[in-house]
Structure formats: structure tokens, C-alpha cells
Amino acid sequence: MRKNEWGFVLPITLLLSFLVLFLLTHYSALYIVESRSFYETKGRYQLQYLINHGLFEAKKYVNDSLKKEEASWVETKNGSVEITIIPLSATEAKVELVCKGENSGNAKVWVVMDVAYHKIIQYQEGASLSF
């Protein structure tokens, strides 16, 4: 190499190394964000399933519990649901569902049901679906 010549191998190597590391960091960050999103989405679907399952089970027992307050516990492979049926009047009952998902998600739901027609009059979620 002569005195006034500059090398080209080192700058190109540094530039390519920087590009590769930048792309590697970028795609690994995308992968982490996407996997977290899938985890939370799966947890939300599991909680919705638990809410639906709890309401289905509550409809079975709501006729018998208009005389006194009744509580039960349902275990599934996706989590558990605590069902509390509180009579409000001769034809209405309040159903409280506390769902605990497999992915440590929690949900609280209050439902007022018309016992004669098995219809939901009021539906309210408390503290939304949280993780």
C-alpha cells in the first residue's frame, strides 16, 4: 500500500456489520412484540370463553337459587370461574362471575338475568379483562 492510499476493506466491513446488527435487532424486537401480542390475545379469548361458560352454567342453576344466595366453582382446562347467584326479586337474579384464566388473566362480570325467560337484562364488566 502506498502512503496516500486509503483501504476499503475496513470501512465496508464496519458498514456491513452495522447493517447486519441493525437488522438483527429490528427483527428480534418485532418478534418479541408479536409474541406478546399473541399471548395477550390468547388470554383474552380464554377469559371470554370462561365468561360464556360461567353464564351457561349459571343459567342451569338460576331457577333453584331464587330463594337464597348460592355460590359455586367451575374448573376448566383454560382456568376457573367462581359463580355467585344473588336473588333480586321473584323473577330476577344477579349473577357475579369471577374468572381466573390460565395465563393469569382476571375478569369480573355482573349480569342481571330474567329467570322466567332466561334472558340477560343487564351486563357489566368490572375492571375489564386484565393481565
Q: Note the pLDDT tens digit of each residue in 5-20.
A: 777 888 899 999 999 9
Q: Is the pLDDT of residue 131 over 60?
A: no
> pTM of the entire structure?
0.72
Q: Which residues contact 34 (CB under 8 A, 6 or more apart)?
A: none
pLDDT for position 30: 97
pLDDT for position 20: 98
pLDDT for position 111: 92
Q: Is the pLDDT of residue 2 over 80?
A: no
Give me the mean pLDDT over the 99-126 stretch: 86
Q: How far apart are CA 127 and CA 2, in angstroms?
A: 73
Q: Which of 30-34, 105-109, 124-128 has the highest mean pLDDT?
A: 30-34
CA-angle at 70, arms to 92 and 47, nearest 5°: 85
Local confidence band at 65 (pLDDT 50, 70, 90 cut-offs): low
**Is 122:109 a contact under the CB 8 Å cutoff?**
no
83 burial (CB, 10 Å; 0-12 / 13-18 / 19+) is buried
Strand partners, 112: 94, 122
Strand segments (E) across 1-131: 70-76, 79-87, 92-101, 106-114, 119-130
